[in-house]
């Protein structure tokens, strides 16, 4: 596709249908990037429009190919789920969660229900797009999802033609099959913010991150440091985890479970706000607070949003690079980037200074809010 066979690929239809002065949905880049990516992303958004449905979006040729699936996916191969092809969406849409105003196209609440990567079952590594072009043209995709909720191989098979073709989404037989299950009913919250549809709909200003608490991603505690390459190590102090939401006007420190620690660590919050005021930037960072009162220190080890850009899907190494740029040569009283370096050195240092241990994280891992996965490991002294 991608215009190779003359089919319409691009964002013209998407933009024609929307008034970006009214809706908070992204307009997308002027030109979709056509750069080949090693991994292709997918997202499933639950959308309470006139009729509730699930929007399945697959990254291909720099846009998100999109299908509206009224009943959502199923892990049971006996279920054939109708999937109506709709217009391509911009990649930025993957981060959209909020409410499209009534009267606008697709008016209603949108939740990010699942996301991750996918690949073509028949493709050699890195050649997914070639295979997907052919399979899409022939009307039969065979793809494997690696999401938080959806996993395993599925087929998408076209059942008619025309400008808005109908397809069927069917689970292939593999070890991920769960017969008789209802994955849609099992998960009623956002994979990003943990909110229900009602909570998203109740949000006053969709799209402003100050109103959205991101649950911290958690490490698994392990006895041994991970072996091999691809890990990034930081000193862990053992303090209270807190995500800081910072703009030039305000800063809030929110601990696990949504507990607001802004008043308790008022000096740190004010120092962050003043920093954002000087640099005219807004950002969301993750870290831990060690010590109390005047001795309290916020050790920062992640950057989740920077300006308008959500970085949750970016690999850890990219997020840390941006964090380094943000904090470069700038002193913020009571705040510092957590020391990083060789694991063994950090472990000795933690033992010497009474720290907790070492936080080891996969360099290529995205930020998974509220999740405890093997990609983050805490090794105690």
- For residue 201, report the phi and psi dihedrals to the nearest 5 degrees: -65, -30
3-state secondary structure of 324: helix
Contact region for Mn ion (CB under 5 A) — 45-53, 74-82, 294-302, 369-377? 45-53
Q: Per rule CB under 5 A, is residue 362 in the interface with Mn ion?
A: no
For Mn ion, the closer CB: 70 or 307: 70
Q: How far is the CB of 110 from Mn ion (least distance, A)?
A: 7
State whether the Cα torsion 134-138-144-147 is positive or negative.
positive
- Kindly tell me which residue out of 9, 40, 43, 47 binds Mn ion, with binding defined by CB under 5 A: 47
21-46 b/e (C-beta count within 10 Å ≥ 16 → b): eebbbbebeeebeeeeeeebbbbbbb
Sheet holding 357-362, edge to edge: 218-222, 372-380, 357-362, 231-236
For Mn ion, the closer CB: 47 or 319: 47
Contact region for Mn ion (CB under 5 A) — 48-56, 137-145, 187-195, 298-306? 48-56
Q: How far is the CB of 189 from Mn ion (least distance, A)?
A: 18
Tokens matching residue 199: 């909570």
Looking at 280-340, list the stretches that DSSP marks H as alpha helix, in order from N- to C-terminal side. Answer: 316-327
Closest-approach residue to Mn ion (CB): 47
Spatial distance between the Cα atoms of 300 and 209, rounded to a whole number of angstroms: 19
For Mn ion, the closer CB: 6 or 163: 163
Query: Contact at 8 Å (CB) between 170 and 154?
Result: yes
Which residues in 55-84 contact Mn ion (CB under 5 A)? 55
Which residues in 172-231 contact Mn ion (CB under 5 A)? none
Q: Per rule CB under 5 A, is residue 302 in the interface with Mn ion?
A: no
Q: How far is the CB of 108 from Mn ion (least distance, A)?
A: 8
- Give the interface with Mn ion as residue ranges (CB under 5 A): 47, 55
């Amino acid at each position: 596709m991608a215009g190779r066979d003359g089919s319409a690929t691009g964002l013209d239809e998407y933009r024609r249908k929307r008034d970006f002065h009214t809706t908070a949905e992204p307009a997308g880049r002027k030109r979709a990037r056509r750069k080949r990516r090693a991994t292709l992303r997918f997202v499933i958004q639950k959308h309470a429009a006139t009729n509730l449905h699930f929007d399945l979006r697959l990254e291909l040729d720099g846009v998100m190919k999109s299908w509206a699936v009224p009943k959502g996916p199923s892990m049971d191969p006996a279920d054939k789920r109708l999937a109506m092809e709709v217009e391509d969406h911009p990649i930025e849409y993957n981060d959209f969660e909020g409410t499209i105003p009534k009267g606008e196209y697709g008016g209603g609440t949108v939740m990010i229900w699942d996301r991750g990567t996918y690949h073509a079952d028949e493709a050699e590594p890195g050649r997914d797009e070639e295979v997907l072009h052919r399979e899409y043209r022939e009307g039969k995709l065979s793809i494997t999802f690696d999401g938080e909720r959806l996993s395993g191989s599925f087929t998408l098979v076209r059942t008619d033609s025309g400008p808005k073709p109908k397809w069927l989404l069917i689970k292939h037989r593999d070890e991920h099959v769960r017969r008789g299950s209802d994955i849609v009913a099992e998960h009623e919250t956002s994979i990003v913010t943990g909110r229900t549809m009602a909570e998203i709909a109740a949000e006053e200003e969709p799209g402003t991150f100050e109103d959205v608490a991101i649950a911290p991603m958690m490490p698994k505690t392990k006895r041994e440091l991970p072996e091999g390459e691809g890990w990034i190590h930081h000193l862990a102090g053992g303090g209270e985890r807190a995500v800081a939401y910072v703009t030039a006007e305000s800063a809030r420190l929110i601990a696990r479970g949504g507990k607001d620690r802004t008043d308790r660590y008022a000096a740190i919050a004010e120092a962050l706000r003043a920093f954002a005021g000087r640099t005219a930037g807004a950002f969301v960072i993750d870290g831990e607070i060690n010590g109390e009162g005047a001795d309290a220190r916020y050790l920062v080890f992640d950057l989740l949003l920077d300006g308008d850009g959500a970085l949750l899907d970016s690999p850890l190494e990219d997020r840390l690079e941006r964090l380094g740029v943000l904090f470069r040569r700038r002193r913020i009283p009571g705040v510092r980037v957590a020391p990083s370096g060789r694991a063994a050195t950090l472990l000795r240092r933690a033992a010497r200074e009474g720290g907790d241990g070492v936080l080891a994280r996969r360099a290529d891992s995205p930020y998974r809010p509220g999740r405890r996965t093997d990609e983050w490991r805490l090794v105690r002294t």
